[in-house]
Structure 1
Amino acid sequence: MLPALEARYQMHLTPLAGGAEARTFAGDGLVFKVYPPTSQPGGIYAARLEALNMTKAGLGDWVVETYNLNQYGILVTRRYPGANFTPERFHQAALEELARFFVRLHAIPEPGVVSRTRLQDRLQQFGSTLHDLPQARQLVGWLWAHIEEVAGTPQAFCHRDPHAGNILLKHPEAQGVPEALVVDWIRAQPDDPARDLAILTTGTLVMLGEAQALAALRYMVSCYPQPQALWRRLRFWVPLTYLHDMHWFRTKEPNGFEAAVADKLPKALRFYQEFSPELA
């Protein structure tokens, strides 16, 4: 696919870090995301789905085109003048940009509410996967008591994967672009906005250190129209997200499981045990 793209656009392309669904290349102000027909979703369907999700999220200006090439779906976007999130490059203006963006995103209503059955299934699954870790089992037990605080929450349009690899920060010299940009929209779906913020916390903000991550999260939540209810749901979602990460390592990358537990389980316990129900 790379020679075919280079010939079509008459430019040299270099590979970028890609996700599980697609390969990504960049060149001369453009980014090319290549979806194989075998991925799920795959081919042109995946390329068009991501373009539609970006447009729905208010990022349609970044989309250049989508098309089918040898059964591969191609999504072409403008290249953002920035790089992946790092603590050293993160600053107040970027935090404010992320807050504005997620507030706008989560103002897009979606049908349905958060499913009680889905929450129960997740807790049962994580309790089973992590059955040999007493503290993880204890945390699962604590979270059962908060299901009613989350179940029935009206859903909104959510990114559902805002980890550090999907958060770009602007180069200092760049002009006319936002301070931060959220990329990789293939998994966007209706969900609880608190889940988006939990993934952002455990996968991105925590790189700042736990205290600074909590302060950044408090600031973002304070920008929402109904911050208090959103804040209280995070007592459930942040620890659950850490449990999900440990479950993922045990089932997908077992060689990294011990390190993941050593890193994530104490953070999950601290967040839950030290959580203040009042945002202010």
Structure 2
Amino acid sequence: MLCEVEILPALEARYQMALTPLVGGAEARTFAGDGLVFKIYPPQTTEPGGIYAARLEALNMTKAGLGEWVVEVYTFNQHGILVTKRYPGANFTPERFNQAALEELARFFVRLHAIREPGVVSRSRLQDRLNQFGGTLHDLPEAQQLVGWLRQHIEEVAGTPQAFCHRDPHAANILLKHPEAQDVPEALVVDWVRAQPDDPARDLAILTTGTLVLLGEEKALAALQHIVRGYPEPKVLWRRLRFWVPLTYLHDMHWFRTKEPTGFEAAVADKMPKALRFYQNFSPELA
């Protein structure tokens, strides 16, 4: 690949450090050096790419209050290069997650979602998503039943004022501080290229199904409730999660069937019961 054959040696020469690969997302290759992280976005095709994607992520980080982590953004051989400070931590794991990290995430998402954006959540968009997942999962009776239940709650979500949202806070994008690290937050949310206006409840649903659930469903629910209580209108936000959490599980199953079909059966076995339990056991009143 051009990234490793040509760009990587050039970066190592420019910064006088050896770079090692990190697990990256679909949009970019990621490498780490001495105190720095390098995201290399390939030239733009159908998705945001190249310098546009690198600048977009830097701008989104700054908007989210994380601008101090951005070092520089530039283009090299039509690739976009985003250089950030390296956070002294590692990906979320249940063993390393503690109350301090929960408090940090709670404060962060409340601040993030206080950034108002134009527009409201579209009713037609919600209907289209349910139709899409219902079609993809047409042969799963429990999925069809859940889609029908969620249709009853569209009006609770449609028209919600939008806020600035990360839109992908799963465990690979949540870093937890090393115990010995000093003067850094207990947790850090990374990978901001997909950030857009959305319903804050959707961000928290993805955080729940992709991160907090690793703690176990009971602890995940308690952590989610703790986070929600910090919002200006916690009861209203909480009720919307009855829609968004199960919908997010449906989205995950849809993704496996369309993108990674070999993992679809296991995804259904894991996610369908969780989606049904969340919906069926949901209490409209925030405990």
Q: Report the Cα offset of residue 223 of structure 1.
A: 0.6
1:132 matched to which residue of 2? 139
Taking structure 2 as the reference length, the TM-score comes to 0.97
The equivalent position to 1:91 in structure 2, one of 76, 98, 104, is 98
Name the residue aligned to 1:8: 14
Residue segments in structure 2 that go unaligned for 5+ positions in a row: 1-6
**TM-score relative to the length of structure 1:** 0.99
Partner Cα separation in structure 2 for residue 105 and residue 180 of structure 1: 14
In the TM superposition, what whole-angstrom CA distance separates every residue of 1:144-167 from its partner, at most 9, and x where no partner exists? Answer: 000000000000000000000000
Calculate percent identity across the aligned residue pairs.
86
CA distance in 1, matches of 2:150, 2:121: 16
SS of 1:88's partner is: coil
Matched, 1:148 2:155: yes
* Residue equivalent to 2:67: 60
Match for 1:18 among 14, 24, 28?
A: 24
Q: Secondary structure at the match of 2:81?
A: strand
Residue identity matched to 2:13 = A
**Cα root mean square deviation, aligned:** 0.5
1:240 match: 247
Cα drift, residue 38 of structure 1: 3.6
One of 165, 172, 181 as aligned partner of 1:165:
172
User: How many pairs are equivalent?
Assistant: 280
Q: Secondary structure at the match of 1:67?
A: strand
Q: Residue 179 in 1 paired to residue 205 in 2?
A: no
**2:4 corresponding residue in structure 1:** none
State the distance in 2 between where 1:204 and 1:2 align.
Answer: 31
* Separation in structure 2 between the aligned mates of residue 37 and residue 209 of structure 1, nearest angstrom: 40
What does residue 197 of structure 2 align with? 190
Unaligned stretches of 5+ in structure 1? none
State which of 218, 224, 236 in structure 2 corresponds to 1:211: 218
Mapped to 2, the partners of 1:73 and 1:8 lie a distance apart of 15
Instruction: Give me the whole-angstrom Cα distance separating, in 2, the residues matched to 1:117 and 1:8.
Output: 49
Q: What is the alpha-carbon distance in structure 2 between the residues aligned to residue 142 and residue 62 of structure 1?
A: 43
CA distance, structure 1, for counterparts of residue 161 and residue 187 of structure 2? 27
